[in-house]
A = this chain, B = another copy of it.
Amino acid sequence: KKQILHSPHLNVIYTEYKLEAVWPLPQTFISSSEQYRLNPQTFYFGYGMQSAAQPGCTVLDSAFKRYFSLIFLDLTSGSVDKPFSVEISVDRDDCDGYPSEDSSEKYNLTVSAGRASLNAQTVWGALRGLESFSQLVYQDDFGSYFVNKTEIEDFPRFQFRAILLDTSRHYLPVQTILKTLDAMAYSKFNVFHWHIVDDPSFPYQSRTFPDLSAKGAFHPMTHIYTQSDVRRVISHGRLRGIRILPEFDSPGHTKSWGKGQSDLLTPCYNGGIPSGTFVSSVFPDSYIHLGGDEVDFTCWRSNPDVRAFMQAMGFGGDFTKLEAFYMENIMNITSALNKTSIVWQDVFDYHERIPKDTVLHIWKGVPAKIKEELSRITKAGMRVLLAAPWYINHISYGQDWRNYYTVQPQNFSGTEEQKKLVIGGEVCMWGEYVDATNLMPRLWPRASAAAERLWSDEQQTSNVDKAFPRLQEFRCKLLRRGIQAEPLYVGHCKHEYQGI
Protein backbone atom coordinates (compact mmCIF):
# COMPACT_ATOMS: atom_id res chain seq x y z
CA LYS A 1 0.00 0.00 0.00
CA LYS A 2 2.83 2.43 0.76
CA GLN A 3 4.91 3.71 -2.06
CA ILE A 4 7.70 6.28 -2.22
CA LEU A 5 6.96 8.28 -5.29
CA HIS A 6 10.33 9.88 -5.70
CA SER A 7 13.54 10.47 -3.82
CA PRO A 8 13.74 13.45 -1.46
CA HIS A 9 16.01 15.30 -3.86
CA LEU A 10 13.95 15.07 -7.00
CA ASN A 11 10.76 16.84 -7.74
CA VAL A 12 7.79 15.77 -9.73
CA ILE A 13 4.76 17.58 -11.04
CA TYR A 14 1.78 16.03 -9.40
CA THR A 15 -0.69 15.52 -12.19
CA GLU A 16 -1.13 11.81 -11.89
CA TYR A 17 -3.16 10.10 -9.27
CA LYS A 18 -1.30 9.48 -6.05
CA LEU A 19 -1.87 6.88 -3.43
CA GLU A 20 -2.45 8.37 -0.02
CA ALA A 21 -3.20 11.81 -1.34
CA VAL A 22 -4.78 12.90 1.94
CA TRP A 23 -2.82 14.82 4.60
CA PRO A 24 -2.97 14.04 7.48
CA LEU A 25 -3.13 10.35 6.62
CA PRO A 26 -6.52 8.74 7.39
CA GLN A 27 -6.60 5.83 9.82
CA THR A 28 -7.57 3.39 7.10
CA PHE A 29 -7.32 4.23 3.45
CA ILE A 30 -8.00 1.87 0.57
CA SER A 31 -7.93 3.18 -2.94
CA SER A 32 -7.86 1.74 -6.42
CA SER A 33 -6.77 2.91 -9.83
CA GLU A 34 -10.39 3.01 -10.98
CA GLN A 35 -11.07 6.68 -11.66
CA TYR A 36 -14.24 8.73 -12.16
CA ARG A 37 -14.37 11.95 -14.06
CA LEU A 38 -15.94 14.94 -12.31
CA ASN A 39 -17.46 17.98 -13.92
CA PRO A 40 -18.48 21.12 -12.03
CA GLN A 41 -21.69 21.27 -14.04
CA THR A 42 -22.84 17.87 -12.90
CA PHE A 43 -21.33 17.69 -9.43
CA TYR A 44 -23.49 17.96 -6.32
CA PHE A 45 -23.16 17.92 -2.59
CA GLY A 46 -26.33 16.81 -0.82
CA TYR A 47 -27.79 15.51 2.41
CA GLY A 48 -28.60 11.83 2.83
CA MET A 49 -32.27 10.90 3.37
CA GLN A 50 -31.54 9.61 6.85
CA SER A 51 -29.28 12.49 7.83
CA ALA A 52 -30.19 14.36 11.01
CA ALA A 53 -28.89 17.52 9.35
CA GLN A 54 -30.79 18.71 6.28
CA PRO A 55 -30.74 21.83 4.06
CA GLY A 56 -30.53 24.87 6.29
CA CYS A 57 -27.70 23.38 8.33
CA THR A 58 -25.40 26.38 8.58
CA VAL A 59 -22.19 24.43 9.07
CA LEU A 60 -22.67 22.04 6.15
CA ASP A 61 -24.40 24.40 3.71
CA SER A 62 -21.46 26.76 3.91
CA ALA A 63 -18.98 23.88 3.79
CA PHE A 64 -20.57 22.64 0.54
CA LYS A 65 -20.16 26.06 -1.03
CA ARG A 66 -16.58 26.37 0.20
CA TYR A 67 -15.43 22.93 -0.89
CA PHE A 68 -17.08 23.22 -4.28
CA SER A 69 -14.91 26.28 -4.96
CA LEU A 70 -11.79 24.65 -3.56
CA ILE A 71 -12.24 21.54 -5.68
CA PHE A 72 -13.18 23.28 -8.92
CA LEU A 73 -10.73 26.15 -8.82
CA ASP A 74 -10.82 26.74 -12.53
CA LEU A 75 -14.34 26.10 -13.75
CA THR A 76 -13.40 24.40 -16.99
CA SER A 77 -16.53 23.20 -18.70
CA GLY A 78 -15.58 20.20 -20.73
CA SER A 79 -17.96 17.69 -22.19
CA VAL A 80 -20.84 17.17 -19.81
CA ASP A 81 -20.12 13.98 -17.95
CA LYS A 82 -22.26 11.69 -15.90
CA PRO A 83 -23.42 13.36 -12.72
CA PHE A 84 -21.53 12.76 -9.51
CA SER A 85 -23.01 13.43 -6.11
CA VAL A 86 -21.54 13.39 -2.65
CA GLU A 87 -24.14 12.46 -0.09
CA ILE A 88 -23.49 13.55 3.46
CA SER A 89 -25.28 12.03 6.44
CA VAL A 90 -24.81 12.87 10.08
CA ASP A 91 -26.35 11.25 13.13
CA ARG A 92 -26.95 14.44 15.07
CA ASP A 93 -28.28 17.84 14.06
CA ASP A 94 -25.59 19.89 15.80
CA CYS A 95 -25.63 22.48 13.02
CA ASP A 96 -26.05 25.48 15.30
CA GLY A 97 -23.71 24.41 18.08
CA TYR A 98 -20.04 24.83 18.68
CA PRO A 99 -17.42 22.13 18.42
CA SER A 100 -16.26 21.03 21.88
CA GLU A 101 -13.86 18.62 23.52
CA ASP A 102 -16.52 15.93 23.26
CA SER A 103 -17.28 16.39 19.56
CA SER A 104 -16.69 13.25 17.54
CA GLU A 105 -14.68 13.92 14.39
CA LYS A 106 -14.99 10.37 13.09
CA TYR A 107 -16.21 9.89 9.54
CA ASN A 108 -16.48 7.25 6.84
CA LEU A 109 -16.09 8.10 3.19
CA THR A 110 -16.83 5.81 0.27
CA VAL A 111 -16.17 6.97 -3.27
CA SER A 112 -17.60 4.81 -6.04
CA ALA A 113 -18.99 5.27 -9.56
CA GLY A 114 -21.28 8.30 -9.77
CA ARG A 115 -21.40 8.90 -6.05
CA ALA A 116 -19.62 9.27 -2.78
CA SER A 117 -21.16 8.81 0.60
CA LEU A 118 -19.84 10.51 3.68
CA ASN A 119 -21.16 9.45 7.08
CA ALA A 120 -20.35 11.01 10.42
CA GLN A 121 -21.80 11.25 13.90
CA THR A 122 -21.53 15.04 13.91
CA VAL A 123 -21.28 17.88 11.43
CA TRP A 124 -17.71 18.35 12.70
CA GLY A 125 -16.82 14.86 11.53
CA ALA A 126 -18.54 15.61 8.23
CA LEU A 127 -16.28 18.65 7.82
CA ARG A 128 -13.20 16.44 8.23
CA GLY A 129 -14.58 14.08 5.63
CA LEU A 130 -15.25 16.90 3.17
CA GLU A 131 -11.66 18.03 3.57
CA SER A 132 -10.44 14.51 2.79
CA PHE A 133 -12.75 14.23 -0.19
CA SER A 134 -11.51 17.55 -1.58
CA GLN A 135 -7.93 16.31 -1.34
CA LEU A 136 -8.79 13.17 -3.29
CA VAL A 137 -9.80 15.16 -6.36
CA TYR A 138 -7.02 15.86 -8.88
CA GLN A 139 -6.65 17.31 -12.36
CA ASP A 140 -4.92 15.81 -15.36
CA ASP A 141 -2.76 17.82 -17.74
CA PHE A 142 -5.81 18.92 -19.71
CA GLY A 143 -7.57 20.31 -16.66
CA SER A 144 -10.12 17.50 -16.26
CA TYR A 145 -11.03 16.56 -12.72
CA PHE A 146 -10.90 13.03 -11.41
CA VAL A 147 -11.46 11.10 -8.21
CA ASN A 148 -10.59 7.47 -7.65
CA LYS A 149 -12.54 4.67 -6.05
CA THR A 150 -11.71 5.04 -2.37
CA GLU A 151 -12.71 3.77 1.03
CA ILE A 152 -11.76 5.77 4.13
CA GLU A 153 -12.50 5.18 7.79
CA ASP A 154 -11.04 7.95 9.82
CA PHE A 155 -10.86 9.55 13.24
CA PRO A 156 -8.27 11.64 15.09
CA ARG A 157 -5.67 10.11 17.34
CA PHE A 158 -5.89 13.09 19.70
CA GLN A 159 -8.94 15.13 20.58
CA PHE A 160 -7.01 18.43 20.95
CA ARG A 161 -4.95 19.65 17.96
CA ALA A 162 -4.14 23.32 18.36
CA ILE A 163 -2.29 26.25 16.92
CA LEU A 164 -1.28 29.18 19.09
CA LEU A 165 -1.02 32.68 17.64
CA ASP A 166 0.35 35.52 19.73
CA THR A 167 -1.38 38.83 19.04
CA SER A 168 0.32 40.78 21.80
CA ARG A 169 3.97 40.90 20.67
CA HIS A 170 2.74 41.89 17.24
CA TYR A 171 -0.80 42.72 16.25
CA LEU A 172 -2.23 40.39 13.61
CA PRO A 173 -5.01 41.76 11.39
CA VAL A 174 -8.30 39.86 11.66
CA GLN A 175 -7.94 38.78 8.02
CA THR A 176 -4.67 37.05 8.87
CA ILE A 177 -6.34 35.15 11.71
CA LEU A 178 -9.23 34.10 9.46
CA LYS A 179 -6.81 32.92 6.78
CA THR A 180 -4.99 30.90 9.44
CA LEU A 181 -8.28 29.26 10.43
CA ASP A 182 -8.83 28.33 6.76
CA ALA A 183 -5.42 26.70 6.57
CA MET A 184 -5.92 24.98 9.94
CA ALA A 185 -9.01 23.23 8.57
CA TYR A 186 -6.96 21.97 5.60
CA SER A 187 -4.64 20.18 8.07
CA LYS A 188 -7.54 19.16 10.36
CA PHE A 189 -6.44 21.30 13.31
CA ASN A 190 -9.40 21.90 15.62
CA VAL A 191 -8.35 24.42 18.30
CA PHE A 192 -7.16 28.00 17.85
CA HIS A 193 -5.36 29.00 21.03
CA TRP A 194 -5.57 32.77 20.93
CA HIS A 195 -2.77 34.19 23.09
CA ILE A 196 -4.56 37.48 22.80
CA VAL A 197 -2.83 39.66 25.40
CA ASP A 198 0.56 39.72 27.10
CA ASP A 199 3.15 42.21 28.36
CA PRO A 200 3.75 44.18 25.14
CA SER A 201 0.15 45.04 24.24
CA PHE A 202 -3.49 44.46 25.13
CA PRO A 203 -5.43 44.45 21.85
CA TYR A 204 -8.62 42.84 23.25
CA GLN A 205 -11.33 45.47 23.52
CA SER A 206 -13.29 44.56 26.64
CA ARG A 207 -16.81 45.83 27.17
CA THR A 208 -16.29 45.87 30.93
CA PHE A 209 -12.82 47.38 30.93
CA PRO A 210 -12.43 49.35 27.69
CA ASP A 211 -9.38 51.19 29.03
CA LEU A 212 -7.36 47.98 28.90
CA SER A 213 -7.11 48.24 25.11
CA ALA A 214 -7.55 52.01 24.88
CA LYS A 215 -4.35 52.37 26.88
CA GLY A 216 -2.70 48.99 26.53
CA ALA A 217 -2.94 48.35 22.76
CA PHE A 218 -0.19 49.44 20.37
CA HIS A 219 -2.79 51.75 18.88
CA PRO A 220 -6.25 52.24 20.42
CA MET A 221 -8.11 52.29 17.10
CA THR A 222 -6.15 50.27 14.56
CA HIS A 223 -4.40 47.65 16.69
CA ILE A 224 -7.34 46.21 18.64
CA TYR A 225 -9.85 43.38 18.39
CA THR A 226 -13.36 44.71 18.80
CA GLN A 227 -16.17 42.51 20.08
CA SER A 228 -17.31 42.23 16.50
CA ASP A 229 -13.84 41.07 15.39
CA VAL A 230 -13.86 38.42 18.11
CA ARG A 231 -17.33 37.24 17.07
CA ARG A 232 -16.12 36.99 13.49
CA VAL A 233 -13.18 34.83 14.51
CA ILE A 234 -15.42 32.59 16.63
CA SER A 235 -17.94 32.21 13.82
CA HIS A 236 -15.29 31.58 11.17
CA GLY A 237 -13.78 28.92 13.42
CA ARG A 238 -17.15 27.31 14.20
CA LEU A 239 -17.98 26.86 10.51
CA ARG A 240 -14.69 24.98 10.14
CA GLY A 241 -15.04 22.92 13.30
CA ILE A 242 -12.40 24.92 15.14
CA ARG A 243 -12.72 25.85 18.80
CA ILE A 244 -11.51 29.29 19.88
CA LEU A 245 -9.56 29.02 23.13
CA PRO A 246 -8.68 32.44 24.55
CA GLU A 247 -5.77 32.94 26.91
CA PHE A 248 -5.65 35.70 29.48
CA ASP A 249 -2.29 34.97 31.01
CA SER A 250 -1.76 36.09 34.62
CA PRO A 251 -0.31 36.84 37.12
CA GLY A 252 2.88 37.18 35.03
CA HIS A 253 2.80 38.62 31.51
CA THR A 254 0.40 41.38 32.44
CA LYS A 255 2.43 44.56 31.95
CA SER A 256 0.04 45.83 29.29
CA TRP A 257 -2.96 45.36 31.61
CA GLY A 258 -1.61 47.92 34.03
CA LYS A 259 -1.83 50.78 31.56
CA GLY A 260 -5.61 50.65 31.43
CA GLN A 261 -6.25 49.65 35.06
CA SER A 262 -4.06 51.83 37.20
CA ASP A 263 -4.69 50.00 40.48
CA LEU A 264 -4.37 46.55 38.94
CA LEU A 265 -0.69 45.79 38.95
CA THR A 266 0.65 47.66 41.95
CA PRO A 267 -0.68 45.30 44.58
CA CYS A 268 0.28 42.49 42.22
CA TYR A 269 -2.32 39.95 43.26
CA ASN A 270 -5.72 41.11 44.34
CA GLY A 271 -6.59 44.37 42.68
CA GLY A 272 -9.86 43.18 41.24
CA ILE A 273 -8.25 41.24 38.45
CA PRO A 274 -10.85 41.03 35.70
CA SER A 275 -10.10 37.43 34.71
CA GLY A 276 -12.71 34.82 34.09
CA THR A 277 -15.90 36.78 34.38
CA PHE A 278 -15.03 39.40 31.80
CA VAL A 279 -14.46 36.91 29.00
CA SER A 280 -16.62 33.91 29.80
CA SER A 281 -19.68 35.34 28.11
CA VAL A 282 -17.80 36.26 24.94
CA PHE A 283 -15.97 33.00 24.18
CA PRO A 284 -18.34 30.04 23.95
CA ASP A 285 -15.72 27.32 24.38
CA SER A 286 -15.86 25.45 27.67
CA TYR A 287 -12.10 25.79 28.06
CA ILE A 288 -10.18 28.89 29.02
CA HIS A 289 -6.43 29.26 29.20
CA LEU A 290 -5.31 31.05 32.35
CA GLY A 291 -1.58 31.21 31.73
CA GLY A 292 0.29 31.07 35.01
CA ASP A 293 3.77 30.83 33.50
CA GLU A 294 7.00 32.63 34.26
CA VAL A 295 5.98 34.54 37.34
CA ASP A 296 8.78 36.78 38.53
CA PHE A 297 8.68 37.17 42.31
CA THR A 298 10.98 40.18 42.50
CA CYS A 299 8.09 42.60 42.02
CA TRP A 300 6.06 41.03 44.78
CA ARG A 301 9.06 40.84 47.04
CA SER A 302 9.64 44.57 46.62
CA ASN A 303 6.15 45.51 47.72
CA PRO A 304 5.54 46.03 51.46
CA ASP A 305 1.78 45.55 51.08
CA VAL A 306 2.41 42.17 49.51
CA ARG A 307 4.79 41.19 52.27
CA ALA A 308 2.23 42.23 54.90
CA PHE A 309 -0.42 40.10 53.17
CA MET A 310 2.01 37.16 53.13
CA GLN A 311 2.42 37.49 56.89
CA ALA A 312 -1.31 37.69 57.47
CA MET A 313 -1.87 34.56 55.36
CA GLY A 314 0.95 32.67 57.06
CA PHE A 315 2.93 32.19 53.85
CA GLY A 316 6.18 33.34 55.48
CA GLY A 317 8.65 34.23 52.73
CA ASP A 318 7.46 31.55 50.30
CA PHE A 319 6.15 33.38 47.27
CA THR A 320 5.17 30.14 45.56
CA LYS A 321 2.42 29.94 48.20
CA LEU A 322 1.20 33.36 47.17
CA GLU A 323 1.17 32.34 43.53
CA ALA A 324 -0.66 29.16 44.46
CA PHE A 325 -3.21 31.21 46.37
CA TYR A 326 -3.72 33.45 43.33
CA MET A 327 -4.01 30.64 40.81
CA GLU A 328 -6.31 28.59 43.01
CA ASN A 329 -8.64 31.54 43.35
CA ILE A 330 -8.72 32.17 39.66
CA MET A 331 -9.20 28.49 38.82
CA ASN A 332 -12.06 28.34 41.30
CA ILE A 333 -13.72 31.33 39.66
CA THR A 334 -13.30 29.57 36.33
CA SER A 335 -14.84 26.37 37.71
CA ALA A 336 -17.75 28.34 39.06
CA LEU A 337 -18.35 29.60 35.51
CA ASN A 338 -18.45 25.97 34.33
CA LYS A 339 -15.25 26.39 32.42
CA THR A 340 -12.27 24.05 32.30
CA SER A 341 -8.91 25.68 32.96
CA ILE A 342 -5.76 25.13 30.97
CA VAL A 343 -2.62 26.42 32.63
CA TRP A 344 1.04 26.32 31.70
CA GLN A 345 2.99 23.57 33.44
CA ASP A 346 4.59 26.02 35.91
CA VAL A 347 1.37 25.97 37.91
CA PHE A 348 1.64 22.23 38.66
CA ASP A 349 4.78 22.68 40.72
CA TYR A 350 3.21 24.95 43.31
CA HIS A 351 -0.24 23.52 43.64
CA GLU A 352 -1.73 20.67 45.47
CA ARG A 353 -5.28 21.81 45.11
CA ILE A 354 -5.63 22.17 41.36
CA PRO A 355 -9.16 21.27 40.18
CA LYS A 356 -8.91 17.71 38.84
CA ASP A 357 -10.15 18.62 35.36
CA THR A 358 -7.43 21.25 34.86
CA VAL A 359 -5.19 20.65 31.85
CA LEU A 360 -1.45 21.23 32.26
CA HIS A 361 0.23 22.68 29.22
CA ILE A 362 3.79 21.39 28.73
CA TRP A 363 5.89 24.13 27.14
CA LYS A 364 9.44 23.74 28.36
CA GLY A 365 12.35 21.39 28.52
CA VAL A 366 14.62 19.28 26.37
CA PRO A 367 13.13 15.97 25.15
CA ALA A 368 14.32 13.94 28.18
CA LYS A 369 12.95 16.52 30.59
CA ILE A 370 9.63 16.62 28.71
CA LYS A 371 9.20 12.86 29.07
CA GLU A 372 9.88 13.15 32.79
CA GLU A 373 7.29 15.89 33.17
CA LEU A 374 4.69 13.96 31.18
CA SER A 375 5.31 10.99 33.43
CA ARG A 376 5.18 12.98 36.64
CA ILE A 377 2.08 15.05 35.85
CA THR A 378 0.01 12.18 34.41
CA LYS A 379 0.97 10.07 37.40
CA ALA A 380 -0.84 12.65 39.52
CA GLY A 381 -3.88 11.94 37.31
CA MET A 382 -3.81 15.32 35.57
CA ARG A 383 -4.45 15.75 31.86
CA VAL A 384 -1.66 17.24 29.74
CA LEU A 385 -1.33 19.07 26.48
CA LEU A 386 2.02 18.96 24.68
CA ALA A 387 3.44 22.14 23.15
CA ALA A 388 7.18 22.04 23.90
CA PRO A 389 8.35 20.13 20.79
CA TRP A 390 6.33 22.38 18.50
CA TYR A 391 7.58 25.91 19.20
CA ILE A 392 7.80 26.56 15.49
CA ASN A 393 8.60 30.23 15.90
CA HIS A 394 12.11 28.88 16.63
CA ILE A 395 13.27 28.69 13.05
CA SER A 396 16.44 27.03 11.83
CA TYR A 397 17.97 26.37 8.45
CA GLY A 398 16.81 23.30 6.55
CA GLN A 399 14.02 20.77 6.86
CA ASP A 400 13.13 21.31 10.50
CA TRP A 401 9.61 19.99 9.84
CA ARG A 402 11.20 16.55 10.24
CA ASN A 403 11.69 17.26 13.94
CA TYR A 404 8.04 18.21 14.30
CA TYR A 405 6.97 15.08 12.49
CA THR A 406 8.93 12.60 14.57
CA VAL A 407 7.63 13.68 17.98
CA GLN A 408 6.15 10.78 19.99
CA PRO A 409 3.70 12.39 22.42
CA GLN A 410 2.96 9.19 24.33
CA ASN A 411 6.50 7.89 24.52
CA PHE A 412 7.15 8.34 28.24
CA SER A 413 7.20 5.96 31.14
CA GLY A 414 3.73 5.40 32.52
CA THR A 415 0.64 3.18 32.45
CA GLU A 416 -1.86 3.00 29.60
CA GLU A 417 -4.14 5.14 31.74
CA GLN A 418 -1.43 7.77 31.99
CA LYS A 419 -0.92 7.78 28.23
CA LYS A 420 -4.60 8.52 27.73
CA LEU A 421 -4.22 11.66 29.81
CA VAL A 422 -2.31 13.25 26.91
CA ILE A 423 -5.23 15.03 25.29
CA GLY A 424 -3.23 16.37 22.36
CA GLY A 425 -0.69 18.85 21.17
CA GLU A 426 -0.23 22.41 20.15
CA VAL A 427 1.90 24.21 17.59
CA CYS A 428 3.03 27.56 19.02
CA MET A 429 3.90 30.58 16.94
CA TRP A 430 5.11 33.12 19.48
CA GLY A 431 5.26 36.62 18.14
CA GLU A 432 8.66 38.12 18.99
CA TYR A 433 9.72 37.98 15.33
CA VAL A 434 6.44 37.27 13.60
CA ASP A 435 3.68 39.45 12.25
CA ALA A 436 1.45 39.49 9.18
CA THR A 437 4.48 39.88 6.89
CA ASN A 438 5.94 36.45 7.65
CA LEU A 439 3.34 34.44 9.60
CA MET A 440 1.87 32.38 6.78
CA PRO A 441 5.10 31.03 5.21
CA ARG A 442 6.56 30.41 8.66
CA LEU A 443 3.48 28.47 9.80
CA TRP A 444 2.78 26.44 6.65
CA PRO A 445 3.55 23.72 5.88
CA ARG A 446 5.71 23.26 9.01
CA ALA A 447 2.63 23.11 11.25
CA SER A 448 1.13 20.49 8.95
CA ALA A 449 3.89 18.08 9.98
CA ALA A 450 2.59 18.28 13.55
CA ALA A 451 -0.98 17.98 12.26
CA GLU A 452 -0.31 14.52 10.88
CA ARG A 453 1.39 13.48 14.12
CA LEU A 454 -1.70 14.54 16.07
CA TRP A 455 -4.31 13.08 13.74
CA SER A 456 -2.86 9.94 12.20
CA ASP A 457 -1.85 6.53 13.44
CA GLU A 458 1.74 6.62 14.73
CA GLN A 459 2.69 3.23 13.27
CA GLN A 460 1.52 4.12 9.79
CA THR A 461 3.29 7.48 9.81
CA SER A 462 6.57 6.53 11.43
CA ASN A 463 8.74 7.09 8.34
CA VAL A 464 9.62 10.72 7.77
CA ASP A 465 11.16 10.07 4.33
CA LYS A 466 7.91 8.54 3.15
CA ALA A 467 6.07 11.57 4.48
CA PHE A 468 8.26 13.97 2.51
CA PRO A 469 6.74 13.61 -1.00
CA ARG A 470 3.25 13.53 0.51
CA LEU A 471 3.90 16.74 2.43
CA GLN A 472 5.36 18.33 -0.72
CA GLU A 473 2.18 17.46 -2.57
CA PHE A 474 0.05 18.78 0.28
CA ARG A 475 2.05 22.02 0.25
CA CYS A 476 1.27 22.41 -3.46
CA LYS A 477 -2.42 21.97 -2.59
CA LEU A 478 -2.11 24.74 0.01
CA LEU A 479 -0.56 27.04 -2.63
CA ARG A 480 -3.37 26.23 -5.03
CA ARG A 481 -5.82 27.30 -2.31
CA GLY A 482 -4.03 30.59 -1.81
CA ILE A 483 -2.14 29.71 1.36
CA GLN A 484 1.36 31.22 1.24
CA ALA A 485 3.09 27.97 2.27
CA GLU A 486 6.87 27.97 1.94
CA PRO A 487 8.80 25.30 0.01
CA LEU A 488 10.22 22.22 1.73
CA TYR A 489 13.10 21.90 -0.71
CA VAL A 490 14.19 22.55 -4.31
CA GLY A 491 11.38 22.16 -6.82
CA HIS A 492 8.12 23.67 -7.93
CA CYS A 493 4.35 23.39 -7.90
CA LYS A 494 1.95 23.56 -10.81
CA HIS A 495 0.12 26.44 -9.13
CA GLU A 496 2.77 28.72 -7.68
CA TYR A 497 2.08 31.55 -5.25
CA GLN A 498 1.13 34.63 -7.20
CA GLY A 499 0.92 37.04 -4.29
CA ILE A 500 3.47 39.47 -5.66
Contacts and interface: CB of A to CB of B under 8 A. Distances in A.
Interface string A396-416: 111000000000000000000
A437 B484 contact: yes
Interface stretch (A285-293, A461-469, A488-496): A488-496
Contacts of A175: 500
Given A500-B175, A500-B176, A437 B396 contact: no
Contacts of A356: none
A492 B219 contact: yes
A3 interface: no
A396 B398 contact: no
Contact of A432 (B176, B490, B497): B490
A13 B200 CA distance: 14
Interface string A10-24: 010100000000000
A441 interface: yes
A431 B490 contact: yes
Interface string A439-451: 0111000000000
A484 B436 CA distance: 9
B170 A491 contact: yes
A327 interface: no
Contacts of A398: 433
B437 A487 contact: yes
A346 interface: no
A498 interface: yes
A394 to B, nearest CB: 5
A470 interface: no
Interface string A154-184: 0000000000000001110101100100000
A490 B437 contact: no
Nearest to A482: B500
Given A435-B486, A438-B438, A487-B434, A496 B173 contact: yes
A133 interface: no
6 contacts: A173-B496, A173-B500, A396-B396, A435-B497, A438-B441, A441-B441
